[in-house]
Every structure is written in C-alpha cells, then in structure tokens.
Amino acid sequence: MTGLRERRNDPEELLDEESLAVLAILLAVSLEFGFGFAKTVDWWAGLIAGPTALATLVVLFRLRRTHAWLVRAATWVVRARSHRPPGAAESTAPRVPPR
C-alpha cells in the first residue's frame, strides 16, 4: 500500500506536461463556454454553465469510450496536418504577381 501511495504522489507523474496541457485546455474551454453564456444569456447562466462544462468535459475525458474517441479525433487532426505531399510545402520566396 505504501508503494502505491508513493507512486500516486510522485510529482513527475502528477504534473507531467501532457496532463497540464489537457487540464489547461479543459479549463480554457469551460471558461470560454461560461463567459459566452454570461454574455449572451445572463451572469447566473454563465456561473452555472462554466463549471458544468468543465465537469462534463472531465467526465467525457475520463470515460474509456469517449476518451478513445477524443484521442482518435485528435490523432486524425494531427496526422492530417503533418502528412502533406512533398509539393504542397509553402515556399519562403516572396510571391510575385503574374503579369
């Protein structure tokens, strides 16, 4: 039992870069959602919508089925951006309009 406690309290495991990035994104999305509701509906709606959005996103991320779907979607987005055909690369030369 002591080994399990030490492992869970390991700062490297708790505060690794990926976990912090996920937490920051979830918090940013929920804040944006809450402020959007407060601006369009009323302040009390934003007060309820922000924490509700955060809780919903955390639950969706924690469930195995939706977590796998979110990871697949993120992987698809990253692959679509990183696998460009060789001729599709942007040129650094200045563009000259045709005459």
Q: Are 52 and 29 in contact (CB under 8 A)?
A: no
Question: Hunting for tokens 């509906």 — which residue is that?
Answer: 41
Q: Are 51 and 30 in contact (CB under 8 A)?
A: yes
Render pLDDT for 81-93 as a digit per residue (tens, 0 to 9). Answer: 555 555 555 556 6
- CA gap 57, 29 in Å, rounded: 9
Percent of the chain with pLDDT over 90: 9
**List of residues 6+ apart from 53 with CB closer than 8 A:** 29, 30, 33, 34
Give residue 79's pLDDT band: very low, low, confident or very high (50, 70, 90).
confident
Claim: this prediction has a pTM higher than 0.75: no
Give residue 12's pLDDT band: very low, low, confident or very high (50, 70, 90).
low
